[in-house]
């Protein structure tokens, strides 16, 4: 019973007056006139065994006895003026997906449809990096799940996983989009940033993978950082950013990026969203001693 209550609190299902979208693992948020939806593709019991350098005392301090959840999220951004017409062009009327999940069970596609967006109405898919839980949903049986979308990813990431250290899964997922892949070179945080699409700016966050990219969403003076896999276990990595995960290809660089972006978000009061932060997966970062704390944007908290 205790575990069920804990799960309910994490998922937000115990709230009074909770919306249907929240029950379905869809969290909505406004960035100026942009509508941003965090979509939970899947959630399971988490394992602290993926953490590198975390001793028993540290885990006992931050991990509840009841355990915790690991989640996989993606984000859909609806740009104002969207008429829902497939393949819309220009700066308005766009449906932008940030990462495509694993594709398992078609869960993400169904959640997108619940938001009244058909797969052929997705104009762009921004890929934070080429790990399977972020690109798998691009295709099914060799066919594009988003037949009119352009795929955007960093040139460094594409080069590494399709030429230097070939990931056949990534190659297969990108194949149906061969003529619609757009690459970019993200600037470093603190450097001169350049928009990729109106209101969307890529920022280099190398470490988790060689070309791992964070996306800054900005409209009407409001901002949101969608930071991909800067962290995997928020309960530990917010207070102790130096702890990396086995999934991080360069643990040291990943830790540096994690602290850098959390410090930037906290000092500039920019909300963040992450692919592995449990629902609602979006909130603010505050400096807390030598580390940080995360304040979810949810009525429960």
Domain residues of the chain, as ranges? 24-46+53-296
DSSP 186: P
| Omega cis (within 30) before 245 | no
Residues 78, 82, 84, 89: is their CA dihedral positive or negative? negative
The residue among 274, 286, 291, 301 whose CA lies nearest residue 75 is: 274
User: Which tokens hold the place of 10?
Assistant: 């994490």
The residue among 69, 76, 82, 14 whose CA lies nearest residue 39 is: 76
User: Which tokens hold the place of 285?
Assistant: 């970062």
Containing 110, the helix (H) or strand (E) segment is helix 107-114
Average pLDDT along the chain, 301 residues, taken 10 residues at a time:
34 38 84 97 96 95 95 96 45 85 96 97 98 98 97 98 98 97 97 96 98 98 98 98 98 98 98 96 96 81 29
Collapsing DSSP states into helix, strand and coil, what is residue 71?
A: strand
How far apart CA 298 and CA 301 sit, in angstroms, is 6
Give the per-residue pLDDT at 81.
74
Collapsing DSSP states into helix, strand and coil, what is residue 30?
A: strand
The residue among 96, 168, 182 whose CA lies nearest residue 130 is: 168
How far apart CA 186 and CA 194 sit, in angstroms, is 8
CATH match for 24-46+53-296 among 3.40.710.10, 3.40.50.970, 3.60.15.10, 3.40.190.80:
3.60.15.10
Give the per-residue pLDDT at 4.
33
How far apart CA 239 and CA 59 sit, in angstroms, is 12
- DSSP E strands in the chain: the ranges are 26-31, 34-45, 51-52, 69-78, 95-98, 124-126, 139-140, 143-144, 150-154, 181-184, 187-188, 200-204, 213-219, 222-226, 244-245, 272-273, 282-288, 291-296
The residue among 134, 141, 149, 36 whose CA lies nearest residue 87 is: 149
| Residues shown for the chain | 301
Q: How far is CA 162 from the centre of its chain?
A: 22
Other beta carbons within 10 angstroms of residue 184's beta carbon come to: 17
How far apart CA 158 and CA 152 sit, in angstroms, is 10
Give the per-residue pLDDT at 23.
65
User: Which tokens hold the place of 170?
Assistant: 């990534």
Is the CB of residue 286 less than 8 Å from the CB of residue 295? Answer: yes
Residue 117: half-sphere exposure toward Cβ, Cα within 13 Å: 28
User: Which tokens hold the place of 299?
Assistant: 């009525």
Other beta carbons within 10 angstroms of residue 106's beta carbon come to: 13
Strand partners, 36: 29, 77
How far apart CA 21 and CA 118 sit, in angstroms, is 17
């Amino acid at each position: 019973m205790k575990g069920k209550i804990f799960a309910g609190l994490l998922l937000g299902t115990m709230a009074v007056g909770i919306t249907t979208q929240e029950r379905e693992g869809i969290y909505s948020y406004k960035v100026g006139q942009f509508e941003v939806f965090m979509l939970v593709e899947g959630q399971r019991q988490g394992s602290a065994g993926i953490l590198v350098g975390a001793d028993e005392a540290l885990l006992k301090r931050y991990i509840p006895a009841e355990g915790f959840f690991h989640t996989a999220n993606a984000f859909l951004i609806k740009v104002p003026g969207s008429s829902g017409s497939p393949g819309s062009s220009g700066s308005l009327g766009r449906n932008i997906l940030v990462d495509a999940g694993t594709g398992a069970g078609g869960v993400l596609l169904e959640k997108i449809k619940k938001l009244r967006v058909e797969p052929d109405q997705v104009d762009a898919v921004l890929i934070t990096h080429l790990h399977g839980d972020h690109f798998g949903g691009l295709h099914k049986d060799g066919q594009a799940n988003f037949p009119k979308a352009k795929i955007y990813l960093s040139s460094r990431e594409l080069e590494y996983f399709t030429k230097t250290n070939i990931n056949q899964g990534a190659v297969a997922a990108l194949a149906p989009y061969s003529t619609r892949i757009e690459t970019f070179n993200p600037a470093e945080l603190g450097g001169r940033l350049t928009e990729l699409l109106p209101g969307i700016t890529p920022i280099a966050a190398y470490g988790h993978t060689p070309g791992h990219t964070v996306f800054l969403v900005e409209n009407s003076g409001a901002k949101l950082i969608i930071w991909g896999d800067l962290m995997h276990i928020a309960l530990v990595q917010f207070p102790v950013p130096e702890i990396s995960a086995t999934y991080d290809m360069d643990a040291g660089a990943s830790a540096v990026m994690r602290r850098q972006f959390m410090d930037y978000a906290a000092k500039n009061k920019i909300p963040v969203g992450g692919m592995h932060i449990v629902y609602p997966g979006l909130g603010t970062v505050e400096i807390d001693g030598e580390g940080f704390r995360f304040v979810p944007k949810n009525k429960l908290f």
